[in-house]
A and B are shown apart, each in its own frame.
Chain A
């Protein structure tokens, strides 16, 4: 048997030189701060919050978001990660990758408000898988979704509660999210498709 090469960093597609910036580092920071405030407002504080990032780039985003909330509210917000590989419905369509770790904070998720964090919301299938995965880990009081970029083209009835940037795209375009923790610098770029 042969396993495909690991996801990061070797097989991350190179960003083509013609890619355009749609968010730079400051935009990303501002967006996360705003989302933090929205979450606090909606939740009436930071009590019972659990922030879970979806690998790979949802994880550092979750950590940043939790830190932003903690800073405002002055309490530690539990943060973890939720790997959804085993719950995907498109495994047969792509090479098998090593499944990632799931790391739920010590307090668990029962009766908590779970904020799922991902970098790009596209078809909605990842979030569908995340909801299934979450269901087997416990019973949260509520689940909310925060994404850095919503690029449209949903295939399932799923909607984000908190969006960093709505980015209308064509299916031919690719959205590249780069984060300092993984890639050395922050950026969101778009490539491919027809120039607008």
Chain B
């Protein structure tokens, strides 16, 4: 049994469904007057953030606290440079404090995987560089499922800066795991390297033309708009914000076309949004938008992940090679 959640690919369909089912009961807890269950009493969860992220960190912090775990935030920003302490030393120092889980956010891809190989505690990837963000994909799936039921055969379109997006990388895996059909849309400069071979292997579609996807044969069930950083313009990824919006922004006019095809279409965004760039302000607030549902689902899903990783037998109690 793996003790970690590093990549969305670590989760089978059954795993995802168990977590989402648990997340539903966690959502119940969230709605109660007393938002606390004793499940993780005596467990210690360290939120180990090498990169600023108020929303993910506070989401994990609330999740831990509502589960009665002792939750501690460690900001390790700046200690990841090659001049400072090595990542291994930093991770082992924290692990030596006999913690139960490290929730790690790092600006370097793969950092969570590396740390998981050096420590005894569970490691949860809360976003590693431009690689993955598996709990984001789970909360997105939770949000979609609570609105549309099973995702089998549903058409989800992910639009934006795919190259630099860990949200895309995790979502494309989890959505496929749950049987959804995925189309990713970006200008060629923001398509990840090797996406053609990748999409063929993993079974998703790619397009440079958002309008063709919106008006295509395959009606869209959900649009997931990714944040586009304005700094990308200086890297030559696209010329101007205006041109990006015209090509790839979810404008009111595009939303109207989507709704005409499918009145139940949902609009998602992992936040923080650049209103007016990748998503029009009125679209972000439209009835189709589930952006706030995503935030609310974040706590429930992270409670469920903590529960599944930490509530059961602790790894060190298991005999060598035991299956659990």
Contacts and interface: CB of A to CB of B under 8 A. Distances in A.
A102 to B, nearest CB: 6
Contacts of B314: 92
B324 A4 contact: yes
A1 B10 contact: yes
B309 to A, nearest CB: 6
Contact of B22 (A2, A91, A99): A99
Interface residues of A, number: 26
A98 interface: yes
Interface string A1-12: 111111000000
Given A3-B19, A6-B18, A86-B25, A136 B4 contact: no
Contact of B312 (A86, A91, A100, A136): A91
B41 to A, nearest CB: 9
Contact of B307 (A2, A99, A137): A99
A58 to B, nearest CB: 16
A132 B36 CA distance: 11
A13 to B, nearest CB: 17
Contacts of A136: 32, 34, 36-37
Given A1-B3, A137-B32, A96 B37 contact: no
Interface string A81-123: 0010111000111111111111000000000000000000000
A95 B313 contact: yes
B308 interface: yes
A3 B311 CA distance: 12
B21 A92 contact: no
Contacts of B229: none
Most buried by B among A2, A4, A95: A2
Contact of B28 (A2, A91, A101, A132): A101
Nearest to B37: A86
